[in-house]
Amino acid sequence: MKRMLIALLLAAAAVPAAARERVPAADSRITFVGRTLVSETGAVSFDWSAVTARIAFTGGYLALEAGDTGKDYFNVWIDREPSAEPDKVVVIDRDTTVVLFRQKERKPQPHRIVIQKRTEAEQGRVTFRAFEVEGTFLQADGLRDRFIEFVGDSYTCGYGSENSVREDPFRPADENPSKTYADILGRYFGADVLHISHSGQGIDRNYDDAGRGWHMPQRYLQTFDLAKEPAWGFEGKKPDITVIYLGTNDFSTNRQPAFSAFKEGYIRLLKAVKAHYGDAHPILCVAPMHSPDHHDYIRRVVESCGLPNVFYAGLPAQVHDNEADLGASWHPNYSGHLKKAYSLIPVVSTITGWPMESKPVE
């Protein structure tokens, strides 16, 4: 019996421990979608909502070394394409190591992980420093052929989208861009999506006049939402279409800007998009559903801007129900965002030439 025990111990000792591989977050095998800044050490920092990383590897373990200036929530999908519901949600609120995937495997198997920032910049700037696996890193899926850029406010961030009680206050845990019209459109068309969005922001006037002089036309040019420098270089893959969904906050608290000021700010944003993507680049300007004034202002801007390939779509007041389709702080919940997406799918299809297909919108 003693000899058998010794033999078993020697056999166990002969089995090598699973090899670990650690790489900086900027490793070429890892794909990021969104505006990021890479440091000399290979760390990747970002603060915009919905920035996404794709990681592929073999083995039963994946960990992320990261830090955050605040407290951010992240969606994680395991071995499948992203959907409205993640497989898990993780939190990063300090310098920490987060285990994204762990399971026992007799033989290392290939896996894919997608991680997406749920919360917007006001909750924190995150830095992904390194990933570590028990196994080997593989080349993750690259950027998709189709690419949509969204410029918006709290609706595009997914403010309150996880909640279904409109009177409830906002909680960061209830913010989820994967349940917005933007990500729903991306999933329908099989496109990557880029969110340039910040709650409370407008074209010429932010909610209740907060941050006067610093609005989405200015933020659009930035690498980080909350920092004016460095400027974004507009390098890499160019989107196929830019969708601008702004205006609600310009008309907030029973006030509105003069049309001349609104037009000047909106055309500044349109010209910034055109300057970096070219005159042929299509821009869809979506008018919110809240009042006819929104529609009138944006329609007049599109008609008078003098720029080619700029389109208008106005969402009617009945696009979603103001009770069942609202989440926290009277913002659209997932059901409300689905209805917005349904309304915009044919418009995006016509502008881009991407066909509409008979498949679920989710």
- Tell me the CA distances in angstroms from 181 to 3, 57, 154, 339, one per residue in order: 67, 31, 12, 8
Round to whole Å and give the CA distance between 273 and 205: 20
pLDDT tens for each residue of 9-29 = 343 443 345 688 999 999 999
**In the Cβ-directed half-sphere of 218, how many Cα atoms lie within 13 Å?**
14
**248 close to 206: Cβ distance less than 8 angstroms:** no
Burial of 94 (0-12, 13-18, 19+ CB in 10 A): exposed
**Contacts of 177 by beta carbon, 8 Å cutoff, 6+ apart:** 49, 50, 116, 117, 118, 156, 157, 158, 161, 183, 195
- Tell me the CA distances in angstroms from 90 to 86, 120, 242, one per residue in order: 10, 15, 30
Task: Say whether pLDDT at 6 is over 50.
Answer: no
pLDDT tens for each residue of 269-280 = 999 999 999 999
Per-residue pLDDT, averaged over 332-339, amounts to: 95
**100 close to 63: Cβ distance less than 8 angstroms:** yes
Tokens linked to 315: 């969402």
Tokens linked to 221: 């040019």
- In this prediction, residue 17 carries a pLDDT of 52
The mean of the pLDDT values for the chain is 93
**In the Cβ-directed half-sphere of 257, how many Cα atoms lie within 13 Å?**
25
pLDDT tens for each residue of 349-360 = 999 999 999 998
Count of C-beta atoms within a 10 Å radius of residue 170: 16
% the chain with pLDDT above 90 = 81
- In this prediction, residue 253 carries a pLDDT of 83
pLDDT tens for each residue of 124-169 = 999 999 999 999 999 999 999 999 999 999 999 999 899 888 888 9
Round to whole Å and give the CA distance between 178 and 84: 5
Per-residue pLDDT, averaged over 210-239, amounts to: 94
What phi and psi, each to the nearest 5 degrees, are found at residue 75? Answer: -80, 145
**307 close to 144: Cβ distance less than 8 angstroms:** no
pLDDT band at 7 (very low <50, low <70, confident <90, very high): very low
Round to whole Å and give the CA distance between 276 and 261: 23
